[in-house]
Amino acid sequence: MNNSQKLFIFYLRTKLKLISRLSVKWTARVAFKIFTTPYRKSNKQKPSIFYSANQIELNVDGQRIWGYSWNNTSNQKILIVHGFESRAYNFESYVSPLIEMGFCVYAMDGKAHGSSDGKTITLPEYIRMFEELEKKVGQFDAFIAHSFGGLAICLHQEQKKQAESRLVLIAPATETSTSIQLFCSFLKLDEKVKGAINELIERASGNSTDFYSLNRIIPKLENKILWIHDEDDDITPISDLSERILEKQENVEFMITKGLGHRRIYKDPDVMKKVLNFIKPQ
């Protein structure tokens, strides 16, 4: 962490501490906006494979959402779903192999990410993007999703019940409650503020924080799922994964790695090989 990042974090902590003296609910609103804002922007240059892509434009809640597709004549469609503070460019190494396997490949920049409009993103907003994309291009045969995107795509599948679609979850955000706990600990927010954030989520979405949980969703899905997670992931800890899913969920195959962490895992050659073999058209 460089000095400017440390200074910014100090600023956020000080701001929230001052606001908390006036109102817990106000602090929760400000904190939730911070929680849903991707401050870390990818500065990756446009990969060469993206110059040959077809541009996709969606209108989701009045925001322009941008994406890319390749090999559009194929009937086998796959969607790559990035995580929080990421973008479609980061998955460039998957595109060519997927095309060679015969897939029509789609990769989108979620709201407030990459080239898309917006400053914040929530799970319901991400899911609405999937819905708008499917209205435009049809149902997908497979999904490759990382982190925040993994939880979002599973919520989408719970709603749509597209059991024939294969899901690859790489370091998925397993429990939203853990994400909020880590966020509050990082910014030194107390239990009252954390409770107010949870209340804010429930009022805004109609669901409690516990609803946004893969431990709740996965047992309801009939999709064939490949779940890849690293033992050293400190962003979406593997300890959130329940034994019920790890040991008894027959439709879920696991690959547990070590030393790859949260962001390097999807770029690992062995992980990529496993992913491509799993989603190979049947």
Least confident of 38-42, 87-91, 128-132: 38-42
**Number of folded domains in the chain?**
1
Q: Is the per-residue pLDDT at 266 higher than 70?
A: yes
Q: What is the mean pLDDT of residues 267-279?
A: 97
Q: What is the CATH number of the domain that holds 78?
A: 3.40.50.1820
**What is the domain extent for residue 254?**
36-175+213-278
CA distances from 50 to 69, 184, 266 (A): 9, 37, 19
Q: What is the mean pLDDT of residues 200-228?
A: 94
* 21 belongs to a structural domain: no
Distance CA 42, CA 89 (A): 9
Q: What is the mean pLDDT of residues 121-132?
A: 96
* 26 belongs to a structural domain: no
* 119 belongs to a structural domain: yes
Residue predicted with more confidence, 37 or 19: 37
* 190 belongs to a structural domain: no
At residue 124, the pLDDT reads 95
pLDDT in tens, 138-163: 999 999 999 999 999 999 999 999 99
* 27 belongs to a structural domain: no
Distance CA 107, CA 53 (A): 10
* 24 belongs to a structural domain: no
* 181 belongs to a structural domain: no
* 7 belongs to a structural domain: no
| pLDDT range class, residue 2, cuts 50, 70, 90 | low
pLDDT in tens, 168-210: 999 999 999 999 999 999 999 999 999 999 999 999 999 999 9
Q: What is the mean pLDDT of residues 60-71?
A: 96
How many other CB atoms sit within 10 Å of the CB of residue 173?
27
At residue 1, the pLDDT reads 58
